[in-house]
Amino acid sequence: MLSNLKAQPADKILALMAKFKEDPRSTKIDLGVGVYKNAQGVTPVMRAVKEAERRLVAEQTSKSYVGLAGDPAYANAMIDLVLSDSVARDNIAAVATPGGTGAVRQAFELVKMANPAARVFVSNPTWPNHVSILKYLGIETIAYRYFDSETRAVDFEGMLADLTEAREGDVVLLHGCCHNPTGANLNLTQWQSVVDLINEKGLIAMIDIAYQGFGDGLEEDAAATRLVASSVKECLIAGSCSKNFGVYRERTGILMAISDDNTDTKLVQGSLNFLNRQNFSFPPDHGARVVTTILTDPELRADWAAELEETRLGMLALRQQLADELQRLSGSDRFGFLAQHRGMFSQIGTTPDMVEKLRADNAIYMVGDSRMNIAGLNADTVPVLAKAIIDAGI
């Protein structure tokens, strides 16, 4: 049986990580992997996380299973963080998941269970794992225009034109903030137009929000998700704590399913519980309990929010420094978009061959579509990257 298996395509980002690790050059710069790093190249444990874990170790008396949906206190804390009071709690079903990826996977599974004929519209480009999971589940995937390679901004007219081709019951996958991989986001006026189209055509909104707090601030980054969730009939939201709490390895995510007053929320909750049971039984609890401890303790929450804000402002400063240095070297403002984008990622807009040239000549590693992780830079490496970009003729 096992001899019948076929080799699967390698994950490009993981393959890039392996190449970077093997590169002996001391000057190498890793802009590929989507993990936040500080100026020292370390993914730190946040102060509030350390304190919450200390409390858990001292106070926790059991490692027994929690429920299939996870700890209800975690769901309530995350619903408050993402949605605040924009949606009635009675209309929200939620389950803890192994990271944001687990939430995305469970959302797609729920779509397939509820409407096997549904197609999922995804932005071009999007996080590669979105498409990979949909393909594995056998769900038809249709790309809609999103990023204008000339302006480095959202191709909003193209986006709306492509979404008008969706049929009633189709799903529109949207990035709640800090679009991955482009860093280009809709403004709230554009979001309202998307909401209007979703309602007009009877579509289902699905939001992947993995970077709340990394863009314009915790509340600002949640604004679009809250607008959509409060304005459409049904909405799925996949949330992640990997980035904004820095608990990557603890696999801490949540899936929320929002329905209107005509749908039995208990039915939806039961379906989510069932999917958890089929795929991994009980969700991981340690990261979820850490997050809950932080969000429900005023002092810890304030310290976490302050450290997160320092992280956000640090990334914005790197963006501005890089844009300024590129303008100085090129005498052009064509890279000004880097300061306007938000989150960890931007695409500088070049070919895979040029990306390979940056790696070969300068030990600069980024994904082949020219997505680079801004958090992989520091004040000293920004000038190195800028010079390499200009020298390569990008």
Write down the catalytic residue from 77, 94, 107, 127: 127
Q: Quick one: three-class SS letters along 170-189?
A: CEEEEECCCCCCCCCCCCHH
- What's the rounded Cα separation, in Å, for the pair 225 and 222? 5
Q: Which residues contact 103 (CB under 8 A, 6 or more apart)?
A: 97, 238, 239, 240, 253, 254, 255
Write down the catalytic residue from 170, 208, 285, 369: 208
Structure tokens at 223: 């604004």
Instruction: State which amino acid sits at residue 21.
Output: K
Distances (CA, A) of 58 to 51, 54, 159, 295: 11, 6, 51, 19
Pairing between β-strand 235-240 and β-strand 204-209 as defined by DSSP bridges = parallel
- What's the rounded Cα separation, in Å, for the pair 313 and 141? 36
Write down the catalytic residue from 210, 288, 323, 386: 210
The answer to whether residues 226 and 83 touch, using CB atoms and an 8 Å cutoff, is yes
The answer to whether residues 166 and 203 touch, using CB atoms and an 8 Å cutoff, is yes
The answer to whether 210 is a known catalytic residue is yes
The answer to whether 243 is a known catalytic residue is yes
- What's the rounded Cα separation, in Å, for the pair 173 and 105? 13
Task: Name the residues annotated as catalytic.
Answer: 127, 208, 210, 243
